[in-house]
Structure 1
Amino acid sequence: MSDVYSPVPELNLLKEFEDSLGGRFFAPGFELFDYDLDLDWFCGDAPDAYLDRLIPFAYATSSGSYYALWRCDDRTDLATLPVVFFGDEGDLWVEASDLRELFRSLAAEPDDHEDRARLAPARERYLAWLWEHFGLTPGDSSDDDEGVALAEYTRRFADWVSEFAPEDLLDQVLSALDLETPTA
């Protein structure tokens, strides 16, 4: 039996790092959970064709929101798949174009002063880990190419969800993604 966390080397490195922190957090609310956890817990009665394209891997907030890789195509390098945020209150968006972009965003300094103080030691270790393993620094939200890529993934994600969602749910999804409901 293998003790490898996942088939994604980047997530395995992150799991190893997270385990080294002894239960401390390096980013507000972020915590890996069992890789490819059964989505029935998250998505209820969604069709298998929908569930088969989502790979949940981490809590995004302490209130139950989570991140999942979205199999938007059949690429074999799972680390290059877009990361979708599923909010516990219905929020939904494409968070990152790939895992490395998510890792950069997790490195951002928390807005909340108490979080900054509480997370500072582990965050400093995370910044060093991020640089050592990937040569990355915290993300810069002004990257135009990144914004264009996220907008394209968001449009594709909405198109994909429309294959499965009944009209009322699709309206909610499009609203959460800040997209217009198409008119006939």
Structure 2
Amino acid sequence: MLTIEEFAQNFGGKPVPGSLAKLVDFQNETEFGSYCKGFGLVYDDKSGLEHGWSMNPDFLEKLMPFARATAGGSFYALWQYEDGIAPDEFPVVLFGDEGGEFVVAENIQAFLRLLTLDTEPMTYRHASYYRDEDDESTEYSGEFRNWLKKNFNLDAIDDENIVLAPAIEKYQRRFDDWIGRYLGKNK
């Protein structure tokens, strides 16, 4: 069970985004990985960022890992791209277990809709949320869709591009430029 106090440590003294605080409660009623394949909220000490990407304090300060994305080790983080913006409005980025850094949602509520696809993201040249028609749904995926509608009046999606395309258009180039300063690469 993940406590809200543990989870709050991910945000470095900033307020826990309200949508994610509610999701902590939902996850505690179900369980990790039971409402979206491979997904679960966690306390993250940023060691994955430090060892896989950069130990630069300026880099670490602007990224707030908050969830596992896959069983293989990919994870999601919020990116504070500028000061003065509420954490609920930070874009969500995916760090792939085999490399790659991808903007996947404009904000947390858009990200929650992406979770309704009930599949682990794949990363190669971009993030993809392919789901085969024969894939079994997780135990609580239906309850999660109902929870999302009841709590935020958000509908489930069946096309990843409803969320990915606007996020990529709005933030990916900016994120690539920013992260390139710390990783020594220009995309």
Q: Same fold (TM over 0.5)?
A: yes
Per-residue CA shift, 1:13-52, capped at 9, x if unaligned?
A: 0010011004551111101111xx2213333242000010
- Within the alignment, does 1:74 sit opposite 2:92 as a pair? no
Once the two structures are TM-superposed, the CA of residue 152 in structure 1 deviates from its matched residue by 2.6
1:54 counterpart (63, 67, 71) = 63
8 A Cα contact 1:24 1:122, kept in partner: no
**Which amino acid is 2:150 matched to?**
E
Tell me the distance in 2 between the aligned counterparts of 1:42 and 1:142: 27
Where does structure 1 lack aligned partners over 5 or more consecutive residues?
175-184
Tell me the distance in 2 between the aligned counterparts of 1:9 and 1:146: 22
Aligned to 2:48: 41
Q: Residues 82-101 of structure 1: matches in 2 within 5 Å?
A: 82-101=91-110
Where does structure 2 lack aligned partners over 5 or more consecutive residues?
9-15, 120-130
Return closer, same or farther for 1:90/1:23 CA change in 2, 3 Å cut-off. Answer: closer
- Within the alignment, does 1:116 sit opposite 2:125 as a pair? no
Aligned to 2:128: none
8 A Cα contact 1:131 1:137, kept in partner: yes
Structure of greater Rg? 1
8 A Cα contact 2:32 2:39, kept in partner: no
Query: How many equivalent residue pairs?
Result: 163
8 A Cα contact 2:33 2:40, kept in partner: no
**Which amino acid is 1:11 matched to?**
L
Once the two structures are TM-superposed, the CA of residue 70 in structure 1 deviates from its matched residue by 0.3
User: Identity of counterpart residues, as a percentage?
Assistant: 29
Give the superposed CA RMSD. Answer: 2.3
Aligned to 2:25: 16
**Greater RCO, 1 or 2 (C-alpha within 8 Å, sep 6+):** 2
Once the two structures are TM-superposed, the CA of residue 8 in structure 1 deviates from its matched residue by 1.5
Return closer, same or farther for 1:89/1:158 CA change in 2, 3 Å cut-off. Answer: same
Once the two structures are TM-superposed, the CA of residue 115 in structure 1 deviates from its matched residue by 4.4
8 A Cα contact 2:39 2:69, kept in partner: yes
TM-score, normalized by length of structure 2?
A: 0.77
TM-score, normalized by length of structure 1?
A: 0.78
Aligned to 1:147: 165
Tell me the distance in 1 between the aligned counterparts of 2:143 and 2:19: 17
8 A Cα contact 1:109 1:116, kept in partner: no
